[in-house]
Structure 1
Amino acid sequence: MSRVAYTYGRRGRLNSANSGVRETAPTYGKPRNSLFSEKAGGHIKVELNNERLVAHLLIIDPRVKAFQPQPFTVDLIDQRMLFTRDAVRTAWHKHREIPGPKFYTPDFSVDWTDGLHQAIEVKGEGNEGDDVYWDKIARARPILAANGYPLRSVVVPKNGRNPLRMNPGVLKQAIHRLDAWLTDELVARVTRRCESGPISVGALCAEVQLLPGVIPVLLVGGVISADIAHHTICSTLEVSLAYGDLSHLYLIEEMETARGMNG
């Protein structure tokens, strides 16, 4: 009796009905990770939870103007970027006899508010890729940089209790509550209490009579700040007045790898 090795998780096939460059991989009955963001132009789908988490980081980061998942493909043979499915199909037929990696697709493209652009590759801790993967990244990096999309590689922590895994989703939801919850009266109460110095979330909620669910709204609204990259949002988290500063939401750098930066 022969054994047949079944493979799963292949990339989506190309066809004329597909939009964009590459459809996310089939999930064989499992719902894809989807989310909504105005920065991404509405509802988007990503393949993995790690990519969904990074999308949350991009949503809450005030420096990000727009982003897209799997935005384009890099032709490693002709050293150019492909922006349509027809271009990818043509290049695939052209290079089909050439051995080794021929294409690379970043997980995200990012447009920053300062006018710069960037491509992002997402990996999970413990699955950062082998030498073949990093060789492909090294080949794609100068092509992306030459086209104005320098590549940033980030590694999502494996530990589910890591603040970088626990906080972004809460903060992303808080953005949708800003208009309804962040009133002038609330800001004034919190400002008066925090003017004397840092205070724990538990003490702030007790003294100002706040629900704990308001704390993420105050963080994304720039009323208070905290080290949310290294501490989860809970009663023991120490917060202080932010005076409109949102730099505590710059979390993508906390996942950046030295190898990813240097290639």
Structure 2
Amino acid sequence: MKIDERSPSSSRDVAKRTMRPGRAYVICSPKNGFCEVRLESWLEQSVAHALELDPRVSSYRAQPFTLNLTTSEILIKKPKQKPKSAVYYTPDLVADVDGMQTMIEAKPERYVEEHSALFAQVKAVAVSRGMRFVVVTEENLRGNFPRNAQILNQYLAQARKSLPQWSDALRQQGDANLSGIAREVLQGLEPVNYYVMAGILSGQIYVDLFECALEDKNLVIQPAWGSLEAFEVLNYV
């Protein structure tokens, strides 16, 4: 659920569900106007962090509507009584990707096969409505990416006013000089991690977000030459 004026009142507040076996996951979303996004699992949270960083994504929502797969109708609010013939599906997230609405199902890999028939039906309805549908598993967000994305989004949410200043300091050093162990390359810029994060977010510094840990004191960086492709980790086709 996304808590802002654009969310329909019928959206589920997953943080208040009483039958939940575990806690709800809540993040601050700079991409959606610094509103609160509430999610139901660690995997959904990781997907949301990926959407925050992806330059192809302009906005996203959590569970904004339900599809009636029988009629292909989008339901902003479910009827009090479900028709006997209706088959309902609620996407975990819906993102605007390069101008196209994309429904996203965040599902652990071990459960994908057993839901393959449902997913095929959802995809067919999505296509008929000019939308996309993709399934994202933990395999798409492997290694260090979930933790790295979480750290980067904390900087976006909490240090947004300082990021341009740190980025400007890196620019004065010259992109070609941003290569090597970060604490050695960025001597004189303290704390080093502030400038590393600003550089990654601005496309000045490249780090393999799957293989490298941003919290590593011996983090190796290289120039990104203005590219943000490191954040384009999800396949929406």
Match of 2:31 among 31, 39, 51: 39
Contact 1:21/1:73 (8 A) holds in 2: no
2:101 is the alignment partner of 1:117: yes
Distance across 2 between alignment mates of 1:204 and 1:27: 51
Give the aligned residue type for 2:68. Answer: D
Distance across 2 between alignment mates of 1:136 and 1:229: 30
2:69 is aligned to 76
Contact 2:140/2:233 (8 A) holds in 1: no
2:193 is aligned to 213
2:93 is aligned to 108
Query: Alignment partner of 1:179: what SS?
Result: coil
2:46 is aligned to 53
Distance across 1 between alignment mates of 2:126 and 2:71: 13
Contact 1:22/1:85 (8 A) holds in 2: no
Contact 2:203/2:225 (8 A) holds in 1: yes
Query: Alignment partner of 1:62: what SS?
Result: coil
Give the aligned residue type for 1:210. Answer: E
Contact 1:204/1:210 (8 A) holds in 2: no
Structure 1 stretches of at least 4 aligned residues deviating more than 6 Å after TM superposition: none
Range with bigger deviation, 221-230 or 181-190: 181-190
Query: Alignment partner of 1:142: what SS?
Result: helix
Query: Alignment partner of 1:129: what SS?
Result: helix
Match of 2:135 among 153, 159, 162: 153
Contact 2:103/2:133 (8 A) holds in 1: yes
What do you get for the CA RMSD once the two structures are aligned? Answer: 2.8
Contact 2:207/2:220 (8 A) holds in 1: yes
TM-score by length of 2: 0.80
Q: CA deviation at 1:167?
A: 0.7
Q: 1:185 to 1:84 in 2, by over 3 A?
A: closer
Match of 1:26 among 7, 11, 18: 18
Give the aligned residue type for 1:123. Answer: K
Question: What percent of counterpart residues are identical?
Answer: 21
Q: Equivalent residues in 2 for 1:177-188 (5 A)?
A: 177-183=159-165, 185-188=168-171
Contact 1:118/1:148 (8 A) holds in 2: no
Distance across 2 between alignment mates of 1:117 and 1:77: 20
Q: CA deviation at 1:106?
A: 1.1
Q: Equivalent residues in 2 for 1:184-263 (5 A)?
A: 185-191=168-174, 194-196=175-177, 198-205=179-186, 207-214=187-194, 215-233=196-214, 234-253=216-235
Q: CA deviation at 1:241?
A: 2.4
Q: CA deviation at 1:29?
A: 8.6
Q: How far does the alpha carbon of each residue in 1:38-69 deviate from its partner, in whole angstroms, 9 at most, with x for none?
A: 43351121111111111111112222111001
Query: Alignment partner of 2:162: what SS?
Result: helix
Contact 1:220/1:249 (8 A) holds in 2: no
Q: 1:23 to 1:135 in 2, by over 3 A?
A: farther
Q: CA deviation at 1:252?
A: 2.4
Q: 1:26 to 1:95 in 2, by over 3 A?
A: farther
Q: How far does the alpha carbon of each residue in 1:211-232 deviate from its partner, in whole angstroms, 9 at most, with x for none?
A: 2421122211222122223322
Query: Alignment partner of 2:26: what SS?
Result: strand
Contact 1:60/1:175 (8 A) holds in 2: no
Give the aligned residue type for 1:213. Answer: N
Q: CA deviation at 1:32?
A: 1.8
Corresponding pairs, count: 223
Contact 2:203/2:226 (8 A) holds in 1: yes
Range with bigger deviation, 77-86 or 133-142: 77-86
Unaligned runs of 5+ in 2: 1-7
Radius of gyration: which is bigger?
A: 1
Q: 1:141 to 1:44 in 2, by over 3 A?
A: same
Give the aligned residue type for 2:190. Answer: L
